[in-house]
Amino acid sequence: MIARKQPYFRRLTLAAVGILPLAVFALGLYFHHPTRGLPYHDSFANGKADEWTALGGTWDLITGAIRNDSDERGAKLLAGSGYWRNYSIEADVMLLGPEGDAGLILRSSDEEEGVDSYRGYYAGLRSLDNSLVLGRADHEWLEEAKKLDLAQGGINAFQWYHLKLLAYDCQIVVKATVPSQGSVTSIAVKEKDCIKSGRVGLRSYSSGGVWKNVVVRAAARKDLVAMLETLSQKEPVSVQPSIQKPAFLGSEPATGNERQRTPGSSTSFQPIGSLRLFPFSNTQFATVRGVVILTSPTLIVQDTTGGVSVPDAAQPPLKIGDEVEVYGRVHPGDFSSTLEDATVRLLWARSPMPALSVTASQAATGAFDANFIELEGHLRGKHYGPDNTLVLDFDAGPEAFRAIVNRGRGDFFFNEVKLNSQLRLRGICVVDSRYTQNLTPFVLLLRSVDDMKVLAGPPWWNARHLIAVVIGILILALVINFLYSRVEHWRLRAVADERERLAHEMHDTLAQSFAGIGFQLEAIRNGVPGNLPVVHRQLDLASDLARHSHEEARRSIATLRPPSLQSGELLTALKRCALRMVEGGTVQVVTSCFGDVRAMPLRITDTLYRIGQEAIANSVRHAHPTAISVSLDYQKNRVRLLVTDNGVGFRQEEDLRGFGIQGMRRRAAGIFATLQVVSAPGDGTLVEITACLPPHVTVLSWPHFFWKNLTEHQTNAQEPRGQHQNSYRG
Amino acid sequence: MLKNPGDSIKILIVDDHPVVRTGLTNMLGTQSGFHVIGAVATGQEAIEALKAHSIDLLLLDLRMPGMNGIETLHAIKKLGLRTRVIVLTSFETDEDIYRAVHAGAEGYLLKNTSQVEMVDAIRAVSAGNRYIPRHIASRLTERMMRSDLTTRELEILKMLAKGLTNKQIGRALEISSNTVRNHVNSVIEKLEVSDRTEAATTAIQRGIIEVDE
């Protein structure tokens, strides 16, 4: 059967070896396929954007679109496969402020946080010079820009534009449509050493932006031709030979922000920190200037002296990083103030405020109320809050705090982040009890999930892991124990088989020969005349010897036969054995048992039986007793077997070497038992063997027992020869 | 009081061991009233000899290569011969004794039996009596108390002793492993043992099955 199995397994292995590289190859093909996952449609409308990765910016899902309301320059959101080659991406794009641009990235790779820190093509709408821009970023910027028709009123914030960007081989085409007017502007370029493949992205520069209906499709040559044709119908397009080094490097507008940096009408404004000093009693109004650090759920403005929250203000659309002027009624608070019934005026866009790095203890003092801070903490809990928010509980040292973030595209992060991870958070510290609910000293309002960064996962030694490890070790130990007992079982079985074979052999040779010789001697004696008494006597002696030898051989065979004993049967078996040996005689056999009969390992039972058998046999053979007593005494962790007779006894110093006592000793040593033989001529013989029993195995004592078992096994393995000799002794 | 050869007991010895054959032939040949017709080594030869000669008594060994003693005994009884049989063996397992008597042996002797007893036994058996020594008789009754295994159970027990699993036994016998399990359970019950390993060792020990070399 095994012989038949082997080629089968070999075939199976061969097949596996053959299939495995194929499978790996196919898998590789699948993942490297230039159109895997195409066409792609966004699911912003369903509130899902888990496939997108942000590099900078505060990306959030709002009414079926994705929005970055930070002024960060070169904020990117990326998705797709790095192996996409020929494809088009289109989307509706809206700018959230003046002096910036927003658009689409294609064939992108090697992305980092930063303005032009990626390798790919970008097409966007730039409000600064009312242009459609197409360019190549390779950690520097090469661009081709084209002015939009000014008759359309240029590029305005809060207006939807439709952008389509297509790349086929080394031809890149972009088309911008103003849906309200239906006018189209486009650029087509042909590059020499173009970027061949990469993923898609959304990108905004300084102004922030909103994107929706993002669709990515695989493109063929006919798509390129079709797109070029539609272009040529609208206007004659000359396909550019390649992207030229532009007049100005980088996509940063050369004119900068100075143009609009004309302050508004109000002339005097106060540092925000001073609002707290306003008296509670009388109503006073104040004007402050600061940078927007949070827009939702409430507007918070911060300057270098502190932050102020501006609830329910009359405000233009604002994004994070906008510099604003706020005028309102001062409501001083314990830690920060509030400006009520405020009017907000947008001054200009600016880089977002950097976060202030503080500890949780510092934040808990309230000194950083309404400030943009950064701190670290361990995640202790997470749940969904009201109004579609995610609530995460942290602690840092002795302080506990809570972070609240709009659900937006946070689902993936929320599900992935593990409890007890260490996170770095950036957000607005709020001590207002509306948020803290007096559960924690402060709450961190995050602008988006991108404000959380996992620094380290949870430690491996949490309770669940430890339990799993312990269970694993237990299972392993059980398996090892099981295997050990199996091996032991096989070993015993092999020994038993070998003994059986030996017994067979002895029967066929020794015993038969003795029997035959006995018969032959009888025959000779029958033939010897009766007047030769000496010969008769000698022949009688000879047949007695032969019969005796036959007897011995038979006894050896019987000893070799496996007894297969349960410990409970040990005494019965010994009694039966004794009765058989004294058969026909007048020897009395007495057995007795003390203590509670316990289950014993097979080895011990077997050894006790063999030694007992030998002792009884010695008694019957040599001592000529009238009574043999066998007693078994079970004690707490040992068992004692006592075989005594009232026979002739022997002189210890002379005869200890004989009578199979050496064999008994060797057997006893095999189970670490002590053997004692006491005898004196005319005084009978006492054979006592005391063997240690393994303790009762309980759950608690199990490992100890297991270890002992192992070491015992090792000791046994070191002296196998002695044992074998035992086995073959008669 | 020498009888003529026609009145002497005609004996055939069946034993595979040459020393035993020679010794026994010589010993019995010197006894008056016995006539050893021959000594053969196998059951097959014994049957042929029985057909060829008129033989009163067969001294039959149990363990022989090829056709063993019990099988030979069955074959002789099938032939309807009136030859009486004494099993002469060095084995005294319960099962051997039981099966020999069951198969129709009129006597059971161990090879270490003294000449006097052996001669008595042969005389007694050839005179139409049974001869079974006391201690063998006691073991026979012990064995009679236990129920018999069926042929199928024996077959399964043999495979079990070779270390085959239920599934492998089932495949070899073309029965389901469930049936095998039922048989094994009834074997365990009949042998009054606690598990299958013990069943195998006990069966070997009692001589219910033999271990092939």
Q: Distance between CA B135 and CA B97 in Å, rounded?
A: 11
User: From the list A513, A523, A584, which residue is nearest B27 (CB)?
Assistant: A523
Residue A482: φ, ψ to 5°: -60, -50
Please calculate the CA angle A653-A610-A721 and round it to the nearest 5 degrees: 80
Burial pattern A52-72, b for ≥16 Cβ within 10 A else e, equals bebbbbbbbbeeebbbbbbbb
- Residues 549-608 of chain A with CB under 8 A from chain B are 550-551, 554, 561-564, 566, 580, 583-584
User: From the list B24, B27, B91, which residue is nearest A526 (CB)?
Assistant: B27
Best probe of the B interface among A493, A497, A504, A512, by most B CBs < 10 A, is A512
CB contact under 8 A, B168 and A1: yes
- pTM comes to 0.46
**DSSP secondary structure of A564-607:** ---GGGHHHHHHHHHHHHTTTS--EEEEEEES------HHHHHH
If pLDDT is split at 50, 70 and 90, which confidence band does A7 have?
Answer: low
CB contact under 8 A, A562 and B17: no
Residue B45: φ, ψ to 5°: -60, -40
Q: How does pLDDT run across A688-713, given as a tens digit for each residue?
A: 999 988 765 555 566 666 777 677 66
Separation in Å, CA A577 to CA A569, B50, B108 = 12, 39, 21
Q: Is the pLDDT of residue A241 over 60?
A: no
Q: How does pLDDT run across A474-493, given as a tens digit for each residue?
A: 999 999 999 998 998 888 78
User: From the list A1, A511, A522, which residue is nearest B90 (CB)?
Assistant: A511
CB contact under 8 A, B20 and A566: no
Distance of CA B197 to the CA centre of its chain: 25
DSSP 3-state of B19? helix
Residue B5 DSSP one-character state: G
Residue A33 parent element (H or E): none
CB A94 within 8 A of CB A101: no
- Closest chain B residue to the Cα of A517, Cα to Cα: B23
Can you tell me the mean pLDDT for B154-180? 86
Number of CB atoms found within 10 A of residue A609's CB: 22
Burial pattern A155-189, b for ≥16 Cβ within 10 A else e, equals bebebbbebbbbbbeebbbbbbbbeeeeebbbbbb
- Residues 58-97 of chain A with CB under 8 A from chain B are none
Q: Distance between CA B132 and CA B116 in Å, rounded?
A: 15
Q: Is the pLDDT of residue A252 over 80?
A: no
Q: How does pLDDT run across A49-87, given as a tens digit for each residue?
A: 888 888 888 888 877 888 888 777 888 999 988 899 899
Residue A687 parent element (H or E): strand A685-692
Q: What percent of chain A has a predicted confidence (pLDDT) above 90?
A: 13
ipTM over the 0.90 cut-off: no
Q: Which residues contact A480 (CB under 8 A, 6 or more apart)?
A: none
| pLDDT for the residue A479 | 95
Q: How does pLDDT run across A193-203, given as a tens digit for each residue?
A: 888 889 999 99
CB A682 within 8 A of CB A649: yes
CB contact under 8 A, B19 and A550: no
| pLDDT for the residue A561 | 64
Nearest CA to CA, how far is B168 from chain A (Å)? 10
CB contact under 8 A, B26 and A523: yes
Residue B116 parent element (H or E): helix B115-126
Q: Distance between CA A369 and CA A297 in Å, rounded?
A: 16
Residue A565 identity: L
Nearest CA to CA, how far is A469 from chain B (Å)? 35
- Treating both helix axes as pointing N-terminal to C-terminal, what angle do B166-173 and B151-161 enclose, rounded to 10 degrees? 130
Nearest CA to CA, how far is B117 from chain A (Å)? 12
| pLDDT for the residue A234 | 52
Question: Is residue A526 less than 8 Å (CB to CB) from chain B?
Answer: yes
Burial-class residue A602 by CB neighbours within 10 Å (0-12, 13-18, 19+).
Answer: middle
User: From the list A493, A497, A522, which residue is nearest B115 (CB)?
Assistant: A522
Instruction: Give A267-295 as a 3 state SS string.
Output: CCCECHHHHHHCCCCCCCEEEEEEEEEEC
Q: Is the pLDDT of residue B114 over 90?
A: no
Burial pattern B182-202, b for ≥16 Cβ within 10 A else e, equals ebbebbbebbebeebbbbbbb
CB contact under 8 A, A516 and B90: no
Q: Is the pLDDT of residue A587 over 90?
A: no
Please name every residue paired with A327 in a beta bridge, in sequence order, or none if there are none: A287, A343
Can you tell me the mean pLDDT for A652-671? 74
Best probe of the B interface among A564, A565, A587, by most B CBs < 10 A, is A564
Number of CB atoms found within 10 A of residue A332's CB: 16
CB contact under 8 A, B30 and A551: no
- Closest chain B residue to the Cα of A563, Cα to Cα: B205
Best probe of the A interface among B14, B24, B27, B96, by most A CBs < 10 A, is B27
User: From the list A1, A523, A561, which residue is nearest B205 (CB)?
Assistant: A561
Nearest CA to CA, how far is A628 from chain B (Å)? 20
Can you tell me the mean pLDDT for A550-555? 78
Q: Which two tokens stand for residue A586?
A: 């007048």
Size of interface A-B (CB pairs under 8 A): 101
Cβ-Cβ contacts under 8 Å, A559 against chain B:
none
Nearest CA to CA, how far is A720 from chain B (Å)? 23
Q: Which of A211-215, A265-269, A723-727 has the highest mean pLDDT?
A: A211-215
A485 Ramachandran zone, left/alpha/beta (phi>0; psi -120 to 50)? alpha
Among A534, A525, A548, smallest CA distance to B115 is for A525
Residues on chain B bordering chain A, Cβ-to-Cβ distance under 8 angstroms: 15, 17-24, 26-31, 63, 90-91, 111-112, 114-115, 134-135, 163, 168, 193-194, 197-198, 201-202, 204-205, 211, 213
Q: Is the pLDDT of residue A262 over 60?
A: no
User: From the list B22, B30, B135, which residue is nearest A516 (CB)?
Assistant: B22
In which order are the strands placed within the sheet that holds A73-79?
A53-55, A73-79, A199-205, A101-109, A119-126, A131-138, A141-147
Q: How does pLDDT run across A589-641, given as a tens digit for each residue?
A: 888 888 887 777 777 888 888 888 888 888 887 888 888 999 999 888 889 99
